[in-house]
């Protein structure tokens, strides 16, 4: 399709931030929300973007967005989720931290903990926590993904299977309404499955934008975790799954939301 200057800039903003919101765009371009909605409708009809409540996002399905863009999406929400997850983890504990921008937020929130052993396949988490004398960091071996510093592959799976830890902190790229936890890279999924299988208490951390996305590879099901922490759960089906399977659902809104 032919893009107007404003529509082209909207697409670039979506690429940079992962999603765009009607009200923010209206303020940015000094036009009415109705004008922005028409732009978004045109872009979505052409399958350049996909509609979400209150805005639009990049089409998801088989390709994940760039890591820095993912970091910017719901950044305050991820920070609040990280703080809530860190409160569940006691001192003198062992834990896995998996790949992901939300799991990184959990790692940052653990800075005040004492005598932790953190086993991770996330180079970004290892780099930050290694500076803290009260936390011992153990890093998995395997193939390092250049895109995000995640360590994946069979070597990482075999390494993780050597441990049985108190907690596991995992993320997901998408969550279906039926409770399926999804990701993009089958190699990463195998690592996540090994982490789930070798932890006594599994904590899933995912912001509410994950309900708006989809991905092709199945990690597992929400019923396999013990605690699910998000900023907001908009789906009644997810709430029902948590109740039926004794999954503790914690909603941790950001300061902006409150």
Considering only CA atoms, which of 183, 212, 177, 209 is closest in space to residue 196? 183
Could you give the CA distance from residue 169 to residue 165 in angstroms, rounded to a whole number? 11
Q: What local confidence, expressed as pLDDT, does residue 217 receive? A: 93
| C-alpha span between 11 and 43 (Å, rounded) | 8
Residue 71: both structure tokens together: 């970091």
What was the pLDDT predicted at 254?
A: 78
How far apart are the C-alpha atoms of 47 and 61, rounded to whole Å?
A: 13
Give CA–CA dist 127/131, Å, rounded.
Answer: 7
Residues paired with residue 19 on neighbouring β-strands, in sequence order: 57
pLDDT at 157: 94
DSSP helix/strand/coil, 49: coil
Residue in 167, 169, 168, 179 with CA at minimum distance from that of residue 244: 179
Class of domain 69-251: alpha beta
DSSP for residue 11:
H
pTM of the model: 0.77
Environment class of residue 243 by beta-carbon count within 10 Å: exposed (0-12), middle (13-18) or buried (19+)? exposed
- 17, 72 Cβ separation under 8 angstroms: yes
Q: What is residue 182's three-state secondary structure? A: strand
- Assess whether the region 5-59 and the region 69-251 belong to the same CATH fold: no
Tell me, what's the pLDDT at 253?
86
Q: pLDDT digit of tens for each residue in the chain (258 aa)?
A: 567 888 988 988 887 777 899 999 999 999 999 999 999 998 888 878 888 889 998 776 544 556 666 666 778 899 999 999 999 999 999 999 999 899 999 999 999 999 999 999 999 999 999 999 999 999 999 888 877 888 988 999 999 999 999 999 999 999 999 999 999 888 889 999 999 999 999 999 999 989 988 889 999 999 999 999 999 999 999 999 999 999 999 999 876 565
Domain ranges of the chain: 5-59, 69-251
Determine the CATH number of domain 5-59: 1.10.10.10
Q: Encoding tokens for residue 99?
A: 């790949």
Among residues 227, 223, 160, the alpha carbon closest in space to that of 193 is found at: 160
């Amino acid at each position: 399709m032919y893009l107007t200057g404003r529509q082209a800039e909207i697409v670039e903003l979506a690429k940079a931030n992962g999603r765009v919101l009607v009200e923010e765009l209206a303020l940015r371009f000094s036009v009415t929300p109705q004008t922005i909605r028409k732009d978004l409708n045109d872009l979505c009809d052409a399958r350049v973007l996909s509609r979400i409540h209150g805005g639009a996002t990049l089409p998801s399905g088989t390709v994940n967005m760039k890591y820095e863009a993912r970091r910017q999406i719901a950044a305050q929400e991820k920070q609040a989720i990280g703080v809530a997850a860190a409160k569940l983890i006691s001192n003198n504990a062992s834990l896995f931290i998996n790949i992901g921008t939300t799991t990184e937020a959990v790692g940052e929130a653990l800075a005040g903990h004492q005598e932790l052993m953190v086993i991770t396949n996330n180079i970004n988490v290892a780099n930050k926590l290694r500076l803290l004398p009260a936390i011992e960091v153990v890093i998995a071996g395997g193939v390092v993904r250049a895109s995000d510093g995640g360590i994946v592959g069979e070597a990482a799976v075999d390494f993780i299977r050597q441990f049985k830890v108190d907690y596991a902190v995992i993320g997901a790229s998408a969550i279906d309404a039926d409770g399926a936890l999804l990701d993009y890279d089958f190699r990463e999924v195998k690592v996540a499955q090994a982490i789930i299988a070798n932890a006594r208490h599994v904590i899933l951390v995912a912001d509410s934008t994950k309900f708006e996305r989809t991905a092709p590879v199945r990690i597992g099901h929400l019923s396999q975790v013990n605690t699910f922490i998000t900023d907001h759960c908009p789906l009644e089906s997810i709430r029902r799954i948590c109740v039926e399977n004794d999954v503790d659902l914690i909603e941790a809104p950001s300061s902006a939301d409150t």
